[in-house]
Amino acid sequence: MEKSASFLFAGANFNKKKFASDFDRFKEKKEAGNLADDREPEEVLVSAKKRKRKARGSDMIGRLRSKKARKGLHIVKDNDESSKRKKELNRQIERDAVFRKKHKIHVSGNDVASPLKNFAELSSRYGCESYLLQNIADLGFKEPTPIQRQAIPVLLSGQECFACAPTGSGKTLAFVCPMLMKLKHPSADGVRAVILCPTRELATQTTRECKRVAKGKKFRITLMTRELLRKADFSKLPCDIIISTPQRLRLAIRKKKIDLSRVEYLVLDESDKLFEIDMLKKIDSIVKACTNPSIVRSLFSATLPDFVEELARTIMHDAVRVIIGRKNAASDTIKQRLIFAGSEEGKLISLRQSFAESLNPPVLIFLQNKVRAKELYEELKFDDIRVDVIHSDLSQAQREDSVDNFRAGKTWVLIATDVIARGMDFKGVNCVINYDFPDSSLTYIHRIGRTGRAGRGGEAITFYTKKDIPLLRNIANVMVASGCEVPSWILVLRKQKWKKHLPRRDSISIRPQDEE
């Protein structure tokens, strides 16, 4: 029993001879371990420093990695925000496109501002003052017209603009409103805005409308008259906005009576007329006199021929093009008719017959020149209608009286040349009669545009003779584009290239030949 117990506690016997090779290998490793422990203290210290450096390096790498990770998170966040902004911008562009299509607004240009939904947005988007919103409401504008919806934001964003919109669509407010908003307050620094109009009548009307929009703000708005040009020195006369014809303003520049170097806004109203050859040099000298590098130029008209667009681009920088409806089109609220009168005598008979059947004043009658306007006036002045005439031979006071009497209803029928065919706003003109065929389709659009304004209805009657048939197709195309019916034989006529149609016409008279 004892023997067996000692066997249990005796341990295991290791045969060193049998496992000599394995034992030697283990012994070498152990000795190597002992040698390492026997290193000098300096060697141990250096090794510890290396380990610390290695640990510090790995720690720095870790911190850099975590910093990059945090930066990556910021980049991801920034990317998310920019993608959100891009999505919102794309959604806004889509909404604007739908809105423009609804209101027949066509635009081209870079970064075009969103159109106005209502006049209240002038305050929320651009900080418009309350006096201006009140004046707009007092003028009878409840909602912006299509040209106002787009042109106002474009000009307020500081971009230049050339715009084409139908007659009577509120173009004057479209450029006066942003002008007053940008000028903000009256100043004694000299002329800060210029509005150019092709005729004295339109300049007078624009001045009156501008003062109504600016009511309550004490802006100094000045109409350049002959008397003012002769006597005034604009360096001493305080003026914020000046409204003029090109000829008078150019004379003031030549006489060094006016300094346009501080002009912030330049507007060319009825720009296609202003860019005609006889006015082009005058316009060029005025544009060159406006040397302010931050000036904003704008062009407005009911018609915008291609040559005007090309010229406009030479004086404007990165301009936005705004077209309302069809380019160079008449208003679709005007009922248009063509009447073959045969001869000059036939015209006068047709006119009197029309008056006898249904005279619905106020009526505007357009003729080719002032001689023929005087002749027709002499024929009608003894008829039982209140008739007057306006032409360039009359003095400024006489012309203003003729326009004022027509506006006041004292004159039922106003005989005129193309001097008032552009831009003049006669409220409630019921009928326009082209007694003499217009010299071009553009003149036709401007003439008949004196009726059917601001969405109201109107009528346009055009007399023609054999001499006018070559240009009949051009006028018929305008009529068809605005939804009017035209005889099919006219539509197969050859369309004439653009040139003024000014045939020599017989005298206006119904006297028999043997009495002459």
DSSP letters spanning 5-22: HHHHHS-----TTTTHHH
Residue that is written with structure tokens 């141990």 in the block? 44
Give the integer Cα–Cα distance in Å for 151 and 323: 10
Give the integer Cα–Cα distance in Å for 178 and 195: 13
Asked if residue 33 belongs to a domain, the reply is no
Q: Tally the domains of the chain.
A: 2
Q: What 3 state SS string does 281-310 have? A: HHHHHHHHHCCCCCCEEEEEECCCCHHHHH
Give the integer Cα–Cα distance in Å for 261 and 290: 5
Same domain, 159 and 296: yes
- Average pLDDT value for residue range 468-477: 90
pLDDT of 249 > 90? The answer is yes
pLDDT at 230: 85
Instruction: Give the three-state DSSP class for 495.
Output: coil
Same domain, 344 and 317: no
Strands 320-324 and 105-108: antiparallel
- Average pLDDT value for residue range 467-483: 90
pLDDT of 300 > 90? The answer is yes
Report how far apart, in Å, the C-alpha atoms of 346 and of each of 33, 256, 351, 363 are.
133, 54, 9, 20
Same domain, 280 and 365: no
pLDDT of 448 > 60? The answer is yes
Portion of the chain with pLDDT greater than 70, in percent: 82
pLDDT at 2: 46
Closest of 259, 112, 265 to residue 176, by C-alpha? 265
- Average pLDDT value for residue range 407-433: 88
Same domain, 312 and 367: no
Same domain, 342 and 270: no
- CATH at residue 132: 3.40.50.300
- Average pLDDT value for residue range 400-429: 87
Q: Domain range for residue 357?
A: 334-492
pLDDT of 175 > 90? The answer is yes
Q: Would you place residue 312 in the very low, low, confident or very high pLDDT band (cuts 50, 70, 90)?
A: confident
Asked if 422 and 303 touch (Cβ cutoff 8 Å), the reply is: no
Which of 38-42, 52-56, 79-83 has the least mean pLDDT?
38-42
Same domain, 116 and 238: yes
pLDDT tens per residue, range 276-295: 888 888 999 999 999 999 99
Asked if residue 343 belongs to a domain, the reply is yes
Q: How many Cβ atoms are within 10 Å of 338's Cβ, its own excluded?
A: 21
What is the overall mean pLDDT for the chain?
A: 84
Same domain, 320 and 339: no
- Average pLDDT value for residue range 349-376: 91
Q: Would you place residue 1 in the very low, low, confident or very high pLDDT band (cuts 50, 70, 90)?
A: very low
pLDDT of 363 > 90? The answer is yes
Asked if residue 253 belongs to a domain, the reply is yes
Q: Would you place residue 516 in the very low, low, confident or very high pLDDT band (cuts 50, 70, 90)?
A: very low
- What is the distance in angstroms between the CA of the first residue and the CA of the last residue of the chain? 175
Instruction: Give the three-state DSSP class for 261.
Output: coil
pLDDT at 515: 45
Q: What are the tokens at 257?
A: 């009576």
Residue that terminates a domain, selected from 271, 289, 324: 324
pLDDT of 243 > 90? The answer is yes
Asked if residue 87 belongs to a domain, the reply is no
Same domain, 346 and 318: no
Asked if residue 56 belongs to a domain, the reply is no
Same domain, 257 and 136: yes
pLDDT tens per residue, range 316-345: 888 999 999 988 888 888 999 999 998 889
pLDDT tens per residue, range 205-242: 999 999 999 999 999 999 998 888 887 777 777 899 99
pLDDT tens per residue, range 97-109: 999 999 999 999 9
pLDDT tens per residue, range 44-79: 455 555 555 555 656 666 665 666 555 555 565 567
pLDDT at 42: 52
Same domain, 348 and 246: no
Residue that terminates a domain, selected from 324, 351, 372: 324
- Average pLDDT value for residue range 185-195: 91
Asked if 372 and 505 touch (Cβ cutoff 8 Å), the reply is: yes
Asked if residue 249 belongs to a domain, the reply is yes
Asked if residue 402 belongs to a domain, the reply is yes
Whether the model pTM is above 0.75 = yes
- Average pLDDT value for residue range 390-418: 90
Which of 120-124, 462-466, 467-471 has the least mean pLDDT?
467-471
Asked if residue 57 belongs to a domain, the reply is no
pLDDT at 204: 92
Q: What 3 state SS string does 96-134 have? A: HHHHHHHCCEEEECCCCCCCCCCCHHHHHHHCCCHHHHH
pLDDT at 290: 94
Residue that terminates a domain, selected from 268, 289, 324: 324
Same domain, 419 and 401: yes
- Average pLDDT value for residue range 263-269: 95
pLDDT of 194 > 60? The answer is yes
Q: Would you place residue 396 in the very low, low, confident or very high pLDDT band (cuts 50, 70, 90)?
A: confident
pLDDT of 36 > 60? The answer is no
Given strand 363-366, what is the order of strands in its sheet? 334-342, 458-465, 431-434, 363-366, 413-416, 387-390
Same domain, 266 and 289: yes
